Chain A
């Protein structure tokens, strides 16, 4: 999704300016790449000027009859992804100065075929391969595509150059998040060095435990009310581990090899990182779902009327949210030998996608009723699958639930979602023989709906007793689920 400049081209060595004689397209028209969009005349030639990219003509800056210097932006084209968003809005005349990428490019030379400058410009503005595919990226992994960026400008924006990528890797920076001042918004060496420098200088947040008053207006301004948990400060991560390495594996002659999507790459790095940071311990409990089934049966009609389908996941989330409030150590981060107890219970719910995984976050989950929580989770999950999540909806989680049980797994032992300290895994629920005892000491083997839940926790902070007590509390809440939740 990009707004591409159309500059006045240089139609010959000595030509300094050109006149727009006719606009072949009007604002809002769709244009194909290389389709003539205007005619210009200069001292030397009259020429049709092709569109530099496919998209929608978003704005005409220079009107017919106007003469401008070579290189001046005469129009903007919104590329495919951006066009969708722009289509709805009226094409109000906008201020060119406010448009991103205000640095004038030297594109015009390319148009003339000036040999020295072609490599960087016209050389190969990679055919706009499946722009839709790259546009559908999940917000979890940033604004760029999950495959290779489709167009030259997107490639420049997210991949920049070898040097910038090397600096980015050294400092653990995602190039896409740096503001670029180069061609088409490219991140230059200066841009990324400045970014790294500023990040270093940024004041380290007060790591002290946030008491109840932390969110009051008197709180120090540098600590936002709801900071997104993140790695902070100037810990030398690159010394701790060079960015995770994924060793080369030999492919066979008939194997299919394809580049990992951006999302897969990020997951790969995050999982290695989490295992390196946190010594994982796993415990698991078996939970009896009879009580939950009973409540589901009793309220099914009521919930249908409220327009919500409530599954085991929602019951579990409800129980976990409350147990977290009672066990703050599980709703925390371990930071440079300080413990950050999170003020809010923000539950991340892992959602499997066709080609990946994303964890939308239910904020203040402990304040929601079962129905409210279910609606929120369902909404987030639906939009996660439709790739419609907003960036703030995948940030700030303080604990994560993952439910592979829906695929029938008995139980899994999940990896912690850093910088959280614990994650709950849910196993499949099925009828199992269970031993039931009555108050007189009689025992019987009966079929019961049962399933396992597991907890992966960071033993730096969470000891076995903490983890097991928390898990026991979750089990207890599930087995004695209140009628009015």
Chain B
């Protein structure tokens, strides 16, 4: 692109150099590459420019891409989200950051009433991404730990992405930016800098298709359907179950919640006949309910046990660390539920 004047700073050249990147660095690289690839891509959000974002996802972008493409906004989610929607109408590809995804509720109206319905109303697609740090386990309390994905899951016209690995995060953010419709992109902050999630990514440009789940771990005795941070807790549980119980646990990482990859879920249930849904979101109205219903509709006769779920409890995310640990689904909870299913 002609507009790129400066050399790429070191902190976005890790993959180029064959070095492992964190979940956060993978997202940063993905956004960076899309901004280099397509000058219609620009960023809006609170403190994303000078400060580099609350979690430093957009660090260095203002310097590199300039203040026309990296815009610090006032604290008004509905305002800058609406502005982004207008820009998208006019052919731009805005990427909006919610400083914490909890604040997306302030933009609920513009997202659900305006953005999601635009294509249906004949006002054209709204190619934009709304992204932000989500999830608990970092002692953030009720305003900085939420998983509000299901508040939007019910809204036709939106796509919802919630990755669990660095590879997927980069491939999915790029796919989300290139998509012609609005995508909500959830970034679990507990994964941002976890050393265990670091990986070396391909040097070449790649995307991960939206709407496709991925088998994170093959197994034959039971299936855990999950996404985001609980993918990793499920892996811990699966390893413990294999070690202590000889159980072979399959883990399906949804990656995209909307559209839901129903075929992948059904296929795995037909293989293992036992289904456990794990999500960090609260229990009532969580995606486990929708998944159980789809399995009931499409694969009832393949079930050899009732469908179970392990979720957060129906409460706001507590401040107190012990309470937060109790509130969140833990590896032990997954192990216990899986054992119950296996022995059913």
Q: Which A residues are closer than 8 A to B by beta carbons?
A: 13, 103-106, 109, 114-117, 119-120, 160-166, 182-183, 186, 188-189
Stretch among B17-25, B137-145, B229-237, B307-315 lining the A interface: B307-315
User: Which one of B300, B309, B326, B340 has the greatest number of beta carbons of chain A within 10 Å?
Assistant: B340
- Give 4 new A-B contacts, CB below 8 A, not counting A116-B308, A117-B340: A106-B340, A115-B313, A161-B305, A163-B303
Q: From residue A14, how far is it (CB to closest CB) to chain B in Å?
A: 10
**With A106-B343, A162-B300, A164-B304 in contact, is A117–B326 under 8 Å at CB?**
no
Q: Which of B301, B311, B340 contacts A120 (CB 8 A)?
A: B340
Among the listed B310, B336, B344, which residue makes an inter-chain contact with A183, where contact means beta carbons less than 8 Å apart?
B344
In the bound complex, what is the Cα–Cα distance between A115 and B288 (angstroms)?
13
- Complex interface bits, B254-284 against A, C-beta within 8 A gives 1, otherwise 0: 0000000000000000000100000000010
Given contacts A162-B301, A163-B301, A189-B273, contact A119 B344 (CB under 8 A): no
Instruction: State the CA gap A103–B342 with chains docked (Å).
Output: 12
* B309 / chain A contacts, CB cutoff of 8 Å: 116
The answer on a CB contact under 8 Å between B343 and A162 is no
Closest A-B pairs by Cβ, 6 of them? A163-B304, A189-B304, A106-B340, A162-B301, A166-B301, A116-B337
From A109, A161, A165, residue with most partner B Cβ within 10 Å = A161
**Residues of chain A with a CB closer than 8 A to B337's CB:** 116-117
Instruction: Write the chain B residue with the least CB distance to A187.
Output: B304
The chain A residue with its CB closest to the CB of B288 is A116
Q: How far is the CB of A109 from chain B (nearest CB, A)?
A: 7
Which residues on B are within 8 Å of A, measured CB to CB?
A: 273, 283, 300-306, 308-311, 313, 326, 333, 336-337, 339-340, 343-344
Assess A182 versus B326: contact at CB under 8 Å? Given A162-B300, A163-B273, A163-B302: no
* Residues on the A chain within 8 Å of B339, using CB: 106
B110 to chain A, nearest CB (A): 35
Question: Cβ of A115 and Cβ of B336 under 8 Å apart?
Answer: no
Return chain B residues, CB-CB under 8 Å to A109. Answer: 336, 340
- Residues of B within 8 Å of A105, CB to CB, are 343
B343 near A182 (CB under 8 angstroms)?
yes
Q: Are A117 and B336 in contact (CB under 8 A)?
A: yes
B344 cross-chain contacts in A, Cβ below 8 A: 120, 182-183, 186, 188
Rounded to whole angstroms, the CA-CA distance of A103 and B273 in the bound complex is 20
Known: A116-B308, A116-B333, A117-B336. A103 touches B343 (CB 8 A): yes
A162 CB contact (under 8 Å) in B303, B336, B340: B303
Looking at the assembled complex, report how far the CB atom of B22 sits from the nearest CB atom of chain A, in whole angstroms.
Answer: 32
Minimal Cβ-Cβ distance residue in A for B300: A162
Residue of A nearest to B269 (CB): A163
Alpha-carbon separation in the docked complex, A127 to B304 (Å): 23
Chain A positions within 8 Å of B273 at CB level:
163, 189
B90 CB, nearest partner CB in chain A, Å: 49
The distance in angstroms between the C-alpha atoms of A140 and B301, with both chains bound, is: 28
23 interchain pairs, CB-CB under 8 A: A106-B336, A106-B340, A115-B283, A116-B333, A116-B337, A116-B340, A117-B336, A117-B337, A117-B340, A119-B306, A120-B305, A120-B306, A120-B340, A120-B344, A162-B300, A162-B303, A162-B304, A163-B302, A164-B304, A166-B301, A166-B302, A182-B344, A188-B344
> Which residues of B sit under 8 angstroms from A189, Cβ to Cβ?
273, 304
Give the CA-CA distance A116 to B283 in the complex, in Å.
Answer: 9
Residue contact A120 to B308, C-beta cutoff 8 Å: yes
Contacts of A106 in B (CB 8 A): 336, 339-340, 343
Q: With the chains together, A126 CA to B220 CA distance in Å?
A: 32
When C-beta atoms are compared, the residue in chain B nearest to A189 turns out to be B304
**What's the minimum C-beta distance from A48 to chain B, rounded to whole angstroms?**
25
B310–A116 contact, CB under 8 A?
Answer: yes
**Assembly CA distance A13 to B306 (angstroms):** 22
List the A side residues contacting B333 at CB < 8 Å.
116
Task: Give the shortest distance, in Å, between B286 (CB) and chain A (any CB).
Answer: 12
B244 to chain A, nearest CB (A): 15
Q: What is the CA–CA distance of A104 and B303 in the complex, to the nearest angstrom?
A: 22
B19 to chain A, nearest CB (A): 40
- A13–B330 CA distance with the chains assembled, in angstroms: 12
- Nearest CB in chain B: distance from A312 CB, A: 50
Query: Which residue of chain B lies nearest to A182 when distances are taken between CB atoms in the complex?
Result: B344
**In the complex, what distance in Å separates the CA atom of A103 from the CA atom of B245?**
14
Chain B min CB distance to A100 (Å): 16
Per the bound structure, the CA–CA distance linking A148 and B339 in Å amounts to: 29
- Give B327 Cβ to nearest chain A Cβ, in Å: 12
On chain A, the residues within 8 Å of B336 by CB distance are 106, 109, 114, 116-117
A residues less than 8 Å from B313 (CB atoms): 115
Report how far A104 CA is from B306 CA in the complex, Å: 18
**Smallest CB-CB separation from A163: which chain B residue?**
B304
Given contacts A109-B340, A182-B343, contact A161 B303 (CB under 8 A): yes
- Asked if B326 and A188 make an inter-chain contact with CB atoms under 8 angstroms apart, the answer reads no
- Residue of chain B at shortest CB distance from A117: B340
> Whole-angstrom distance from the CB of A185 to the nearest CB of chain B?
12
**Which residues of the partner chain B approach A161 to less than 8 Å between Cβ atoms?**
303-305
**Residue numbers in B under 8 Å from A164 (CB-CB):** 304
What residue of chain B has the Cβ atom nearest to residue A186's Cβ?
A: B344
Known: A106-B343, A116-B333, A188-B344. A162 touches B302 (CB 8 A): yes
- A106–B313 Cα distance when bound, in Å, is 21
Chain A residues lying within 8 Å of B310, measured Cβ to Cβ, are: 116
Cα–Cα distance between A96 and B237 once the two chains are bound (Å): 31
**Which of chain B's residues has its CB closest to A115's CB?**
B283
Task: List residues of chain A with CB within 8 A of the CB of B306.
Answer: 119-120
Nearest-CB distance from B230 to chain A (Å)? 13
Chain B residues closer than 8 Å to A166, beta-carbon distance: 301-302
A contact residues around B283 at 8 Å (CB): 115
Query: What are the residues of chain A within 8 A of B326 when measuring CB–CB?
Result: 13
Shortest Cβ gap from B5 to chain A (Å): 56
* Distance to closest chain B CB from A246 (angstroms): 18
Are B303's CB and A119's CB within 8 A? no
A182 to B311, CA, bound (A): 25
Identify the interface centre among B302, B309, B344: most chain A CB within 10 Å of its CB: B344
Q: Which residue of chain B has the shortest Cβ distance to A160 in the bound complex?
A: B304
Q: Which chain B residue has the least Cβ–Cβ distance from A181?
A: B343
How far in angstroms is the closest Cβ of chain A from B324?
14
A220 to chain B, nearest CB (A): 39
Smallest CB gap from B308: residue in A: A116
A188–B342 Cα distance when bound, in Å, is 10
The residue in chain A whose Cβ has the minimal distance to the Cβ of B313 is: A115
CB proximity of B170 to chain A, nearest CB, Å: 33
Considering the complex, give the chain B residue whose CB is closest to the CB of A165. B301
Which residues of chain B are near A104, meaning CB under 8 Å? Answer: 343
Q: Which residues of A contact B343 (CB under 8 A)?
A: 103-106, 182-183
Which residue on chain A has the smallest CB distance to residue B339? A106
B333 to chain A, nearest CB (A): 7
Provide the bound-state CA to CA distance between A253 and B309, in Å: 40
The chain B residue sitting closest to A184, CB to CB, is: B344
